[in-house]
Amino acid sequence: MKYVRVGKSGLKITEITFGTALTVGTEFDEEKRVSDLIDTAWNLGIRSYDTSNNYGEAESLLGRALKKYKREEYVVSTKGSWPIGETPFHRGLSRKHILWAIEESLKKLELDYVDLYYAHRYDPEVSMEEIIRTFNYLINTGKIRYWATSEWPLEALKECHKVCDKLKLEKPILEQSIYSYAITKIEKNGVKDFCDKNGVGLLGFSPLAQGLLTGKYRKEIPKDSRIAKSKKINYSKTLDIYNQNKKRIDKYLDVCEKYKVKAHYVALQWVLRKNIFPVMGASKPEQLIDNINALTVEIPEKLWEELENINEE
């Protein structure tokens, strides 16, 4: 497992980050099952772990699973801003909410600090100066080592960098966005170009488009799939993603089949080829092991050329 530098910062993470969204603490909460997954990730060389305060019990489960490992040997990130309650005090990027949210996350993770703390979606109701000063305060008090953004629009990122320069304060080192062969909006809306030009790292969540790029839904809906469990986990977007991107996904699967390469191997390498580092979850250890195998498989250059041509249609 390679280590990669996050943008222009000094932080290094493994090229694959283990993510807990929609699985740990949401789909299942058995401690042994979570521990087995984290141990598998660790044995595969993964040292970067991503969670959030709105992923059910994920923070608590991840924190307990990581306790056996030396704190300085891994990077853990969590997030604040996403609504987690009914009142205005349980959401957004106000100083009041973020200072409370980080303390709650640290308690659940049973940690003194997190390496990365995300402004989890942009909040237009809070001034950029307040957001920046709040996250810099957390850095200065040792609660976080770096700060980052997730799914921020281009104009907000531009304003953030401008205000950081004016105040001479630390900028976010990373933007985490949804990204896969099926969903390439950050290449179209200017976010990727901005990050590349300004030395901001990029992490992509849902690199397999929630399983749609594996081909497992092509003939039927598997019983243990996310679509089949949509009511249980209160999440129905996977089917929406397929319906919105059906033509592109089907053409992609046709190309993978033509070259006899596993579709999910291609999907993960596609993201890495774009210098975007995948945040990848798993429900089972064997699933995680198989996905990591993707990093070492040689894929014909002609396959990439055909996929790029589909991209231009």
User: Of all helices (H) and strands (E), which one includes residue 149?
Assistant: strand 144-150
- Tokens 């976080």, located at residue: 144
- Give 276's DSSP letter: -
Pick from 52, 45, 12: nearest CA to 296: 45
Q: Do the strands 114-120 and 144-150 form a parallel or antiparallel pair, or are they unpaired?
A: parallel
Q: How far, in Å, CA of 91 to CA of 30, rounded?
A: 28
Q: How far, in Å, CA of 291 to CA of 280, rounded?
A: 9
Amino acid at 5: R
Active-site position among 55, 122, 179, 217: 55
Q: Do the strands 12-14 and 17-19 form a parallel or antiparallel pair, or are they unpaired?
A: unpaired
Q: How far, in Å, CA of 111 to CA of 143, rounded?
A: 9
Backbone angles phi, psi at 282, to 5 degrees: -165, 150
6 token code pair: 């996050």
Instruction: Say whether 55 is catalytic.
Output: yes
Q: What angle do CA 68, 202, 113 make, to 5 degrees?
A: 35
- Give 246's DSSP letter: H
Q: How far, in Å, CA of 47 to CA of 276, rounded?
A: 17
Report the catalytic residues: 55
